């Protein structure tokens, strides 16, 4: 990992609400599920996500971290640096852990919306990282989000398993994107629920 200054640059201040705030239990639907645990384990939470923010608005991490490093001290330094931030990077891609392998259709993309100005949306191409079971919405080169704005991300289609079963939200995710439950009660998720209603979207994740 790089030095602390370079790490801090990655994590400029803005809030990021992801609809992939999946639950601890199975939704009962066939096919792969977007997952998340409520214990702060960042390996089972979409990254970035407001679900990782504490009551003080700071990023709260519980290890181990889902980042590669041959030196444990580098990860310790990264965790300490992130814990001082009150938001996430304005230039990074978005990572969604899933319960099983998925197939991404050609041209499939996630929608990123500025929740402080829902008329502004961006398209992030999707690909699947099999070794980590992560669906990745790749930030286009040169894209930078606005600092101190809340953002939401959803996937409306184009992701399924080999048998054709579509990716689906978990039960807790479904509650959150409707503005319900502990996560859904956050201001950013309330805005996300309104944006989804306005767009008349029922996302896969």
User: pLDDT confidence of 8, banded at 50, 70, 90?
Assistant: very low
Position 167 scores a pLDDT of: 95
Nearest to 85 by CA among 17, 139, 7: 7
d(CA 105, CA 109): 9
The pair phi, psi for residue 50, each rounded to 5°, is -65, -15
User: pLDDT confidence of 106, banded at 50, 70, 90?
Assistant: very high
d(CA 5, CA 200): 42
Tens of pLDDT, residue by residue over 66-76, are 555 555 555 56
Given a cut of 80, whether residue 7 has pLDDT beyond it is no
CB 53 within 8 A of CB 65: no
Tens of pLDDT, residue by residue over 121-145, are 999 999 999 998 999 999 999 888 8
CB 29 within 8 A of CB 168: yes
- Percent share of the chain, pLDDT over 70: 63
Quick one: average pLDDT of 115-123?
92
Answering whether pTM is above 0.85, one says: no
Higher pLDDT, 127 or 30: 127
Position 95 scores a pLDDT of: 87
């Amino acid at each position: 990992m790089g030095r602390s200054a370079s790490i801090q640059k990655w994590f400029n201040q803005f809030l990021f609400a992801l609809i992939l705030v999946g639950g601890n239990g199975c939704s009962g639907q066939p096919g792969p599920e977007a997952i998340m645990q409520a214990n702060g384990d960042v390996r089972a939470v979409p990254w970035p996500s407001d679900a990782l923010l504490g009551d003080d608005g700071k990023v709260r991490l519980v290890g181990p971290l889902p980042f590669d490093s041959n030196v444990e001290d580098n990860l310790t330094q990264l965790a300490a640096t992130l814990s001082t931030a009150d938001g996430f990077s304005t230039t990074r891609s978005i990572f969604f852990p899933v319960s099983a392998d998925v197939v991404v259709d050609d041209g499939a993309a996630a929608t990123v919306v500025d929740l402080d100005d829902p008329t502004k949306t961006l398209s992030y191409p999707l690909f699947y990282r099999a070794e980590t079971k992560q669906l990745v919405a790749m930030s286009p080169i040169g894209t930078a989000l606005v600092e101190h704005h809340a953002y939401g991300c959803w996937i409306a289609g184009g992701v399924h398993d080999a048998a054709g079963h579509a990716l689906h939200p978990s039960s807790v995710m479904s509650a959150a994107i409707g503005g319900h439950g502990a996560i859904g009660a956050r201001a950013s998720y309330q805005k996300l629920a309104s944006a989804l209603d306005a767009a008349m979207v029922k996302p896969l994740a």
